[in-house]
Structure 1
């Protein structure tokens, strides 16, 4: 019986992984410019963390978490998202006491959700995300959104749509909550069992239902924007003003609620408008989560963040036919003739690599013609040929694969000469 990879996972092979590396490199570079520092948290956490932060009425908690018991009978869960773990670390390590506030962090790594696999959706997927914790300034909301848009733009994506909404503060949400209960309750029996369970616990989650999204009551449901109090309106207007100042186009959608319970005030999604991208158009989502630090035992520290799927990022690049500038070449390939020359290239290859060159040699004892073909497949800039006669004369032949120009170089000065040429 052959063993295959688990359903909902993927192997990222050479030739494809370079795209991932470039995106990760660009994300780190951009975070340095925006002054966000990397944080790395465990792949699994205590299950209670996600119950208290993500919310027990969410699909993630009810249907999608990989939960297990360890040998101490403790309930642990593979992380389904990144924010809860980052905020847990922020509280546990008392980062709220750091001199520099807000604390600006980013993470990158695998997340796990038991979902039905489909295009752009996996059970193990990779997220890049940022969290800014410790400020209630709407300008930081705009900064977080700008960072996400800048990352997509830096690699050439153009067909993007930014959707924003306000979920209001606690007072606004309570007023909206009651309006939603009054709206849906008379006909809640027409909705799925999940929506029926959410009616009293978290009626706003009904608006996010995929099964009943075409129901007529969804189309005329009370809008959160009609229930924002003065402070929430001022906050949301400021966010829009800052985005306009940054020349970032956006649309307001009052039905955007996001899938996690901890959101309040600003919520946003970035979508791909590329033709043929697929049914799942969301590339990135995030929002503000004032109150989350208190929920998991810390002091008041308002925060905002986002998470983006690297898999969907790559799918969006493919949909727009964007070729990433992947370096797919080596500096020098060593071709050897004869046993003594072959033995000598083992040490020479190591010296080239220690000197900072990408270099390779033959390991299959191939003929010289086959070695040249291997050099060509490796996109080598130069091929260095060493035979018995060259070795005795303490020389090596160097050929430029771009021009065909050849030169004979003393072995002692070979690496320095190659450095001049490259």
Structure 2
């Protein structure tokens, strides 16, 4: 039976909420990546690559079996060898695994950065996809509050370089050291147990395993209970207070504005000290564009030695959506219209010279010679170069008045 080659390819449920990119948004996406690569080099962060696919245990142990990411959102399956594998839902766990398995302790403190695709099965919405992309920066092996401050200054500079710093607020909290956190956790459990009958079903499930997560519950039923819960400040040790003060002093010295959010938490036990989010109201409900914190216990959870670490991640799509309309100039530097096939060699020589000098250039040399100029004029470019024959001699005419046009003109006229 023959197959109908014209039949459309059905989109399976698993990949709905993914995206194809072309043109303007693809350029915005790349602009975010380019600025990130520029800033991470300024701050001395080494480029790192980790696999898209990892053993499921890497994420189950790092993210926690009871979290929504592990229980509901991960793309996990058995490979042909019967091993459980998962498409990475985040970067930090894979980087921590690489740090352990490759013996990178010798390089500590290690500052690394990466970007690429991640995968989570969740309800697609504005700025959130099932295959999405993140920027990621980590400092592993440093217990200094200056490492936290540097990462936050890095993130702040990235936002400014992208031109999206206006309207984005850095919110900051401390989770304290292990002693502070344990004391606070005990007080929270006592508080929530006193309101057990009024909590939502999700918060009841979190009460035993992950009580801090009740603090950021979005369920209206939980909000009065969460809002009346004790803050961590009453339980902070002197050491924890000093650490947070050093982080905020570093931000103040660097001129980075911040606001305290005493309800900003991280539910898993390996998080310590600094927790932060850069938030905006320009993306609807999904307002976090950069988020992170200190995770001093993660590498130990994965079987490595006790290792302090701090990091953040940022959604590339979300940052691209925040860019101003005029941030990306999609115009070519030049487009060449070949109005006489007899001058094709000259046109190719001009094309090669311009591209070799770093000028983005396209050539129109097909179809009717009389229509090529009009066709070239429709291509967005700073300079329109027409090459043809007049009175038996070759001629070159260049239109445009930008600095790039003037420079391109000098190159072409020198041929």
Q: Could you tell me the TM-score, scaled by structure 2's length?
A: 0.88
Structure 1 CA distance for aligned equivalents of residues 219 and 401 of structure 2? 62
Residues 7 and 259 of structure 1, relative CA distance in 2, 3 Å threshold: farther
- Paired position in structure 2 for 1:316: 322
Distance 2:162 2:263 in 1: 30
Larger deviation, residues 340-349 vs 183-192: 340-349
Aligned in 2, Cα 1:69/1:417: closer, same or farther, shift over 3 Å? Answer: same
1:298 equivalenced with 2:304 (yes/no): yes
* Post-superposition offset of 1:328: 1.6
Among 45, 63, 68, the alignment partner of 2:54 is 45
The 1:201/1:421 distance shift into structure 2, 3 A limit, reads farther
Distance 1:346 1:247 in 2: 51
Instruction: Give the drift of 1:352.
Output: 5.1
Q: Does the CA-based 8 Å contact 2:290-2:312 persist in structure 1?
A: yes
Per-residue deviation, 1:36: 0.5
Match of 2:227 in 1: 219
The DSSP-based 3-state class of the residue aligned with 2:24 is coil
Which 5+ residue runs of structure 1 have no aligned equivalent?
A: 405-414
Check conservation: 2:382, 2:400, Cα contact below 8 A: no
TM-fit CA distance, 1:62: 1.5
Deviations 1:48-68 (A, max 9, x none): 001111112221111111111
User: Using the alignment, how far apart are the partners of 2:338 and 2:30 within structure 1?
Assistant: 30
Between the aligned partners of 1:322 and 1:265, the Cα distance in structure 2 is 38
RMSD of aligned C-alpha atoms? 2.7
Aligned to 2:123: 116
Could you tell me whether the CA contact under 8 Å between 2:354 and 2:411 is conserved in 1?
no
Secondary structure class of the residue paired with 2:311: strand
CA contact (8 A) 2:46 2:112 kept: yes
**How far, CA to CA, are the matches of 1:17 and 1:207 in structure 2?**
37
Residues in 2 aligned to 1:213 and 1:167: alpha-carbon distance in whole angstroms: 25
1:409 match: none
Map 1:228-377 onto structure 2 (within 5 A). Answer: 228-258=236-266, 262-274=270-282, 277-317=283-323, 321=324, 323-338=326-341, 340-342=342-344, 349=351, 353-354=355-356, 356-362=358-364, 364-377=366-379
- Unmatched segments (≥5 aa) in structure 2: 1-6, 403-407
Query: Does the Cα contact within 8 Å between 2:60 and 2:70 map onto a contact in 1?
Result: yes
> More deviation in 119-128 or 325-334?
325-334
Q: Distance in 2 between matches of 1:206 and 1:64?
A: 19
CA offsets 1:213-255 (integer angstroms, 9 cap, x no match): 7532111012122211221111112112211222212111111
Cα deviations by residue, 1:80-135 (Å, 9 ceiling, x for unpaired): 1111111111111111112xx41000010111111111112111111001000111
Residues 1:207 and 2:203 aligned together: no
Distance 1:234 1:136 in 2: 13
Measured in 1, the distance between the counterparts of 2:31 and 2:184 equals 44
**Equivalent-residue separation in structure 1 for 2:145 and 2:286 (angstroms):** 29
In 2, the alpha carbon distance for the partners of 1:118 and 1:86 equals: 28
* Map of 2:187 onto structure 1: 179
Alignment partner of 2:195: what SS? helix
* Contact persistence 1:333–1:380 (CA under 8 A): no
